[in-house]
């Protein structure tokens, strides 16, 4: 039987604002999305997608995974059926994670390591948090 594996990701909004965390490699992309949102303290209440382009228009990415695909509203690949290991096969793999198409939260996510799953450890697990997370819904009067 194959050894259970994990992926270690860095999700960043800016160079000094990121979260390093570990997830099971066989989890699906929608679970990865939930972990990213959770570790930044956001509510998981909006559609999202993963896009291979890191700059420019992510909607022109050759590889796209979207929640809309699972709703039958997109030609992108499924986030509910795609395993993390299939979308991110090796260390160094990167994508843009777009959360909330209205507010356009764009996270750069990168696989920074692979590990063996540890018995008794709950996943996903936060490994490092650098910088305070922004407010998901800032008060417009504060801007």
pLDDT digits over 54-102, tens only? 999 999 999 999 999 988 898 999 999 999 999 999 999 999 999 999 9
Q: What pLDDT score does 143 carry?
A: 54
Q: What pLDDT score does 138 carry?
A: 80
Query: Is 122 part of any domain?
Result: yes
**Cis peptide preceding 124, ω within 30 of 0:** yes
How many distinct structural domains can be found in the chain?
Answer: 1
Query: Tell me: the pLDDT tens digits for 90-133?
Result: 999 999 999 999 999 999 999 999 999 999 999 999 999 999 99
133: phi then psi, degrees, rounded to nearest 5: -70, 140
Q: What pLDDT score does 142 carry?
A: 60
Q: What pLDDT score does 1 carry?
A: 37
**Cis peptide preceding 118, ω within 30 of 0:** no
Query: Is 118 part of any domain?
Result: yes
Query: Is 141 part of any domain?
Result: no
Residue 96, domain CATH: 3.10.290.30
Which residues is 57 bridged to in the sheet? none
Q: What pLDDT score does 3 carry?
A: 67
Query: Is 142 part of any domain?
Result: no
Structure tokens at 31: 């679970």
Domain of residue 36: give its range: 5-131
Q: What pLDDT score does 140 carry?
A: 72
| Nearby residues of 120 by Cβ (< 8 Å), 6 or more positions away | none
Integer Cα distance of 110 and 107 in angstroms: 10
Query: Tell me: the pLDDT tens digits for 4-30?
Result: 799 999 999 999 999 999 999 999 999
Average pLDDT, the chain: 94
Helix (H, G, I), strand (E, B), or coil: what is residue 86? helix
Q: What pLDDT score does 90 carry?
A: 95
Render the burial of 38-58: b for 16+ CB within 10 Å, e for the rest. ebbebeeebbbbbbbeeeeeb
Is-contact 82 89, C-beta < 8 A? no
């Amino acid at each position: 039987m194959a050894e259970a594996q994990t992926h270690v990701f860095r999700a960043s909004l800016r160079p000094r604002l990121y979260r390093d965390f570990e997830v099971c490699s066989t989890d699906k992309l929608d679970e990865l999305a939930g972990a990213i949102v959770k570790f930044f303290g956001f509510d998981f209440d909006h559609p999202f997608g993963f896009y291979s382009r890191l700059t420019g228009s992510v909607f022109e990415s050759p590889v796209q995974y979207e929640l809309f695909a699972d709703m039958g509203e997109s030609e992108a690949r499924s986030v509910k059926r795609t395993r993390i290991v299939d979308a991110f096969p090796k260390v160094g793999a990167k994508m843009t994670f777009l959360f909330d198409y209205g507010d356009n939260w764009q996270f750069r996510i990168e696989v920074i390591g692979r590990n063996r799953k540890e018995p008794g450890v709950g996943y996903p697990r936060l490994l490092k948090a650098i910088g305070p997370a922004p407010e998901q819904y800032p008060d417009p009067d504060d801007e």
